[in-house]
Every structure is written in structure tokens, then in C-alpha cells.
Structure 1
Amino acid sequence: MQKKNLAALVASLFIVPVAAHADVTIYGFLSGAIESTKATGNGDSSKDYTSRSRVTDNNSRIGFKGSEDLGNGLKAIWQVESSLRNFEQGGTNDKGESATFATRNTFVGLESADFGRVLLGQYDSAYKTLSGSGNKALGIDILADTTASTFNKSSVNGRGEERVKNSVHWYSPKWAGFQLGASWGVDENRLQDNTNKSSVDAKRLSLGLAYNWEALTLSTGWDRRYDTAVKANTNTIYDGSKNTPADANGSSGKNVSLYNIAASYKFDFGTYVGGYYEWATYDQVGGGQLKQDDWLIALGQDFGAASVKLGYGQLGSLKNVATGINGDDFKAKQWLLGGTYNLSKTTQVLAYYTKITNNAKANANFANNAINGLVAGNSPQTFGLGLKVAF
């Protein structure tokens, strides 16, 4: 009898917490691949990333989320999402950096059918969420969560996308297929611009608008980083925080602005067609404004449990550079071809090939599993076979 009572007591200790947190959802996936990868072409063999095999993690993650009904149609919502990146080598990437808790979209907020969702924490910008790779209905990142993804601020397309730290976000309810979003990332560093004798406020504002009607999705977005400049005659952000002492010389009153439009349609017979266009204006340290655009065409075809995907993206010339500098040297292009096969609702095998061709001063890199220390002018390419299991 005492053994039965003890067993019942132990069981109750586990039952009570489960009941108290019954609305908590655990989700995520593990995805890995074996790849053959190299990056060559700038003319200096000593700087080549020579051909090699590597085992990669394809953006694996784990998340916890939940909500509490506050009455009158109002809910408190929360989410903690963490990267499981580089699980294949113990959680440490090629730079020696280790994954930590809450590295991905993590927030607390409120949700209502009338006003939508307000989030506070670290979250993808409205520009990314509604008019970029984060919009699953748009589906423009056809090989998302693989090395062959093309959307990243350091890749060929989606260069305005960002997961914004120290941020507040609002996403409206859907009104007749339309949804609007806005993001505000605050600048807690407030570096000193010693050139202009002022403190900068490098806040980030982002807007996104999406429309979905059955198989058609349309979107547009705007994103601006205030008091932020690029190095003269480049598209590389001037990062004053890396200076000693930290400063933002020449960045006060300058901005980096990006705009995009996108569209996609999926036919009843399984054919997907998508297009994306983005353009950027970069204020330079020292004066003047540079411009650059990028675009992508994506195709897909479903065959039952299988899907084949093809994409081509291009990063254009850097315009308004100084005399003697060739803006075409900053161009890059990317081909991607892949396929998936669903073994079940949660398990998928995948194969992909992608190649980025960088001109002399371009260093566009893989959106995921980027090559560490990629040299401008080298062109990365990879072929991969992988397995993804969701939970």
C-alpha cells in the first residue's frame, strides 16, 4: 500500500505541472546534409576555399510558445525560439561561436482579433516577414533553410532582411486578404559621431504589406537604418562599433534604405511561379549616395510527394561610384536547383545544387552555412544531400 501511495505521489508531481502549462507548444526541426563545397575564381589560388566535403546543419531549431486568455478577445502570447545550428559539430560553428538560448524569434506580446499582434523582443522585421523569405504564402525562398537559400543581407537577394534586436513589432489582422506590419528597432548603443560632433541614433524602421487571395500572393516592403552609412564606394556597412574607441564617424544624418516588391502564384496542377525585386540606396561616409538593385525568378513543380525547384537571382551594378571604380565589379548572380521528397508528414529528404558567381569586388555568400572568410571575387558553390525531421 505504501509503495502504491508513493507511486501516486510521484506521478502527481509530474501531472500538475503539465496541467498548469497545457497550452505550451514545443516545435522545431533537425535538418542536416552532406555537401561538396568550394569557392574559387578570384585569380589568387592561395585564397581559394578548396573543394572539400562537409557535414552541415540546415538551420535547425527548437521553440516553445504559448498563450493565456485574458478575456474580451485579448490574449497574452509568448515564444522562445533557439537555434540548433551546427548540431553536427557540437553546437559550435566554424568561427568558434556557440549557439545560445533564445537566439531566434523570441518575444512577449498581446494579440487581439481587432488590433492584431504586438510583440516585444527580438523578431524578424516586417520587411522580411511580409514581403520576403519569412512570408510562407509568398514562398519566394524556394530552398529555404538550406545552403541553397538565396535570401540574406550578405547574399544575392533579400539584402534588407534582418532579425531585429531590441525591437517592437505590430502585425494587423487580415482584412480582405491584406495584412500590414511595422517594426521599430531601437539603438541602445548611441555611438558618438566624432566627425559631426553628435550622437547617432541608428534606429531601424520597417514596413511590410502583403495580399493573399487563394493561390496569388503580392507584397511590398520598406526598411531604413538611420544614422548608418556605407564605406566610400562600397556596399559594405561602416561599423563604427568595431573601432577603438567605438564611434560612428561620418554616419550622422546618413541612412541605408531598401524597398522591395514580390509576387507568386501556384497553379492547381502544382506549378509555382515567383518573382522578387529589391533596390537599395546607400549614403556614403564622406558624402554622396550609391544605389544597387537585385532580383530573383523562382519556379517549382510538385509531383505528388516530390517537388523540383529552380531559381536564378542577380545582384546588380553599384551605381554612382567614383570615377575610376567599376560598379560592375560589385555584381553577383546565383543559380539554384533542388528537389525534395516527403517520406511522411514530418520527414523529408532533399538534394540541392547552388553556385554564386561573384565579380571582382563582390563577396555574396551562402545565406546559410556561409563560407568563413570568403574573399571578394571567389565564387562559392555546393552540392548537398540531406534529411529533415520536424517535430
Structure 2
Amino acid sequence: MMKKKLIAVALTAGFTAPAAMADVTLYGFLQGGVESVKATGAAANGGNEYASRTRVSDQNSRLGFKGTEDLGNGTKAIWQIESSLRNFEQGGVNDVNQSATFGTRNTFVGLDNAELGTLRLGQYDSAYKVFTSKAADNLMGDTTADTHGSSSIAGRGEARLKNSVHYTTPNWNGFQAGVSYGVDEDRAADANDASRKTKRDRWSLGAAYTLGTLVIAAGYDRQADSAGYGGSTKTNGKKTAYWQLASSYKFDFGTTIAASYEKGSYGNTAGSDLKQSGYTVAVSQDIGAAVVGLSYNKLGNLSNAANPNDYAAKQWVLGARYNLSKSTSLYGYYTQIKNNAAAKVNFANNPLVVKAAAPNSDGSFNNNLSAGNKLTAIGAGLKIAF
């Protein structure tokens, strides 16, 4: 830790002299691997598929700086700047022509008090995401085989909120809670009435209780003026909402079991709200310096849709990690996602992308992998944390 702080201070000194913060830490990890991926099953219906190929993939690598300053009376000023290093293997530009930029991950200023809690202002993970993830046994998190994300099966209500305020309570004998509010600074036009402005602000609540190796968590997330499946349409008076229950427990002999249930509700301008539930079950086992895990994730029917079962999907993940040291590990995985006819679940990290013929105005390309595909990925790699 001391080496990290000395390096961070040296880097900071290159920009500001003298360094103002009393405690600055450099942290992050690099994680990359080789994998074989493909998406098949949509061509029969005229859809786009992803031809089988081998690729070298960054697995959600990141770099961050964080610091504190003691203000006295048990209060500290806190700050963090965290940047994505995703796609370092291709110069920081991903498959849809999006470039990594500074401060793209959790970046904030705030105050922390042991008795009053923590307040953050900036860009940060929602309380829904922070607390429900405490109970997840997501062994392959941050890899292509990650099961959590807004376009995945599990954790569809998770978000990193821009222009947001977050409060987290102190830890009261194992119980902790939080609330997030993301403001809508754009106030875009209503999809059905250009003369009206929407207010797509977002509230997020989360709580977790920890007793030894038992964790029980819950979350609720609500985005206003948001209609359609996934909340993609800006419409006054509608909302997208999620709630989730999750729990995990680790036995003395090294076995961890985890389960979660999540339900989403999507405002519908043409009738009753669309609703969809999903669940995940996972088990992992410690074997010396290694851990092996298996998970099954199921996304159910989309109720009140014309063909509810067409939106269902499921995912299997088999993965393992082997710790070479405290900061370096090897990993490997196999995962398969099976989408029904109208479902478009993709990998949370390194999604399979069939590029559009022409870019958007911002230079990016649409991810137009078709509904109904079966995606598979098998890979292995190395993670080095610092």
C-alpha cells in the first residue's frame, strides 16, 4: 500500500506541486484473455449472426486514484477518479468505435463520518447495484462470462448514475442501507408530444444485512417518464422500475451458495405495463488456492406482450480461478446464452457486435446483433491487481 501511495504522489506532483491531499492511493487491475466466441441461430429468420472467431479481450480493466483528508471530529473529505481501461488490447477503442476516456467509472467527491454515514456527489453506482451485488456469487464478474448488467439476465436494474447524489448509512451491527438520486439535466422532448419535456430522474434504494458469511440484500430502482421494454422511450407519466432480493452463504468447508430474484416493470403507452422476472442460482467451491463455480440464470416471459415467451432467455456459466499470489490469478470459463425469438440478451462485458453499415453521428456503430441468437464463449486469461 505504501508503494501505491508513493507512486500516486509522484504522479500527482507532475501536475500540481505540492500535492494537496494527505492520503492518495493508486489502484486498479489489468485483466485480459483469449477466447473463442460466436452467435448462431438467427439466420433462419433473416437475422444477423456473429461468425465463430478467436479474439483477445480486455476484461473490464480499470485504473483509479482515491484519497482522503481528515477534517477533524470524525469527518473526512473523500474523492475518487476511476477510469475504464477496457479494450486496452486494441488501443482503447471498442468494437463499436467508442473510446476510453478519463473518469468514466465511479468518480466523485464526498464526506464521510463514522456516525453519520457517507455522502457522495458525482458519478457512482446506484444503491440498487451496490447493495444487491453484496449478496452475489458472481465468480466470473468483469469477464465476458459476467452475468450482471442492464442487457444481461441478472442485475438488469443496475446502473452507474451520472449527475447523481448518494448517501450510505453507517454499518449498524451488520445492517447498512443507501439511497441514490440521479437528476435529469437533459429534459428531452416527450416522444408523443414534442412541446412537453420529460423528467427522467432516477431514484435507487438498497439495503443489506451481513451476519458472518450470510448476506441478505434488497434493492428498488425507479426511473420516471420512461416507457417501453427496457425504458428506452421518453414518455411523460410512465416509469421503469425494478426490485430485487438476493442472498448468499458460505459454509465452513468452502462452499458458497447464492440466489437472487429480480422483477422489472416497464411503462407501456399501448396498454398494461410490461413485466418480466428473472432469477439466478450459483454455487462455488474453494479448493486450496483455486475456486470453481457454476451458475444458472433465467429470464422469464414478458407479460402483457403479444408473445410473452419470445422474450425469455437463459444462461449457463462454468468458471474457475486459481490464485498465483494475492494480486495475480489465472481464470477460465465457458458460458452460453440462449435467447428466444425476441430476446436480445448479450454478454455484459465484450458483447458480440455486428457493425452497422454506417456509423452514427458521434462515430459509434449500432450493436445490431439480432434477437434469437445463441451466444457461446470459452476463454482463459490472467488478472493482475495493484
TM-score (norm 2): 0.89
Is 2:329 aligned against 1:348?
yes
Cα distance between partner residues in 1 of 2:146 and 2:218: 20
Instruction: Indicate which of 289, 295, 320 corresponds to 1:311.
Output: 295
Q: Which moved more, 1:327-336 or 1:196-205?
A: 196-205
CA contact (8 A) 2:40 2:373 kept: yes
Map of 1:270 onto structure 2: 254
Cα distance between partner residues in 2 of 1:209 and 1:308: 28
Map of 2:360 onto structure 1: none
CA contact (8 A) 1:332 1:359 kept: yes
Map of 1:237 onto structure 2: 231
Q: How does 1:98-247 map to 2 (within 5 A)?
A: 98-132=99-133, 135=134, 138-193=135-190, 195=192, 197-230=195-228, 235-239=229-233
Identity fraction in percent: 52
1:299-345 Cα deviation digits (max 9, x unpaired): 00001100001000000000012xxx211000000000000000011
AA matched with 2:32: G
1:101-149 Cα deviation digits (max 9, x unpaired): 00000000000011111000000000000013xx2xx233221011001
AA matched with 1:356: I
Cα distance between partner residues in 1 of 2:372 and 2:380: 27
AA matched with 2:382: L
1:147-204 Cα deviation digits (max 9, x unpaired): 0011011011110000000000001110011000000000001112263553211000
Map of 2:371 onto structure 1: 376
Map of 2:9 onto structure 1: none
Partner SS, residue 188 of structure 1: coil
Partner SS, residue 333 of structure 1: strand
Cα distance between partner residues in 1 of 2:183 and 2:36: 41
Cα distance between partner residues in 2 of 1:32 and 1:194: 41
Stretches of structure 1 that go unaligned for 5 or more consecutive residues are 1-12, 240-247
Cα distance between partner residues in 2 of 1:229 and 1:95: 26
Map of 1:279 onto structure 2: 263
Partner SS, residue 24 of structure 1: strand
Is 2:318 aligned against 1:337?
yes
AA matched with 1:204: R
CA contact (8 A) 1:140 1:276 kept: no
Taking a change above 3 Å as real, the CA distance of residues 194 and 208 of structure 1, as seen in their structure-2 partners, is: closer
Cα distance between partner residues in 2 of 1:47 and 1:286: 29
Taking a change above 3 Å as real, the CA distance of residues 187 and 268 of structure 1, as seen in their structure-2 partners, is: same
Partner SS, residue 68 of structure 2: strand
CA contact (8 A) 1:142 1:298 kept: no
Taking a change above 3 Å as real, the CA distance of residues 113 and 236 of structure 1, as seen in their structure-2 partners, is: closer
AA matched with 2:276: Q
Cα distance between partner residues in 1 of 2:92 and 2:214: 39
Cα distance between partner residues in 1 of 2:132 and 2:348: 17
1:89-112 Cα deviation digits (max 9, x unpaired): 010101111100000000000000
Cα distance between partner residues in 2 of 1:100 and 1:119: 21
Aligned residues: 357
Cα distance between partner residues in 2 of 1:329 and 1:286: 19
TM-score (norm 1): 0.88
Cα distance between partner residues in 2 of 1:46 and 1:327: 20
Structure with the largest fraction of strand: 2
Stretches of structure 2 that go unaligned for 5 or more consecutive residues are 1-12, 354-367
Map of 1:64 onto structure 2: 65
Taking a change above 3 Å as real, the CA distance of residues 40 and 210 of structure 1, as seen in their structure-2 partners, is: same
Taking a change above 3 Å as real, the CA distance of residues 17 and 346 of structure 1, as seen in their structure-2 partners, is: farther
Partner SS, residue 369 of structure 2: coil
Partner SS, residue 227 of structure 2: coil
1:8-61 Cα deviation digits (max 9, x unpaired): xxxxx98x9587545100000000010000000124377220110000000000
CA-based RMSD: 1.6
Partner SS, residue 155 of structure 1: coil
User: Which structure has the bigger radius of gyration?
Assistant: 1
CA contact (8 A) 2:167 2:180 kept: yes
Q: How does 1:281-296 map to 2 (within 5 A)?
A: 281-296=265-280
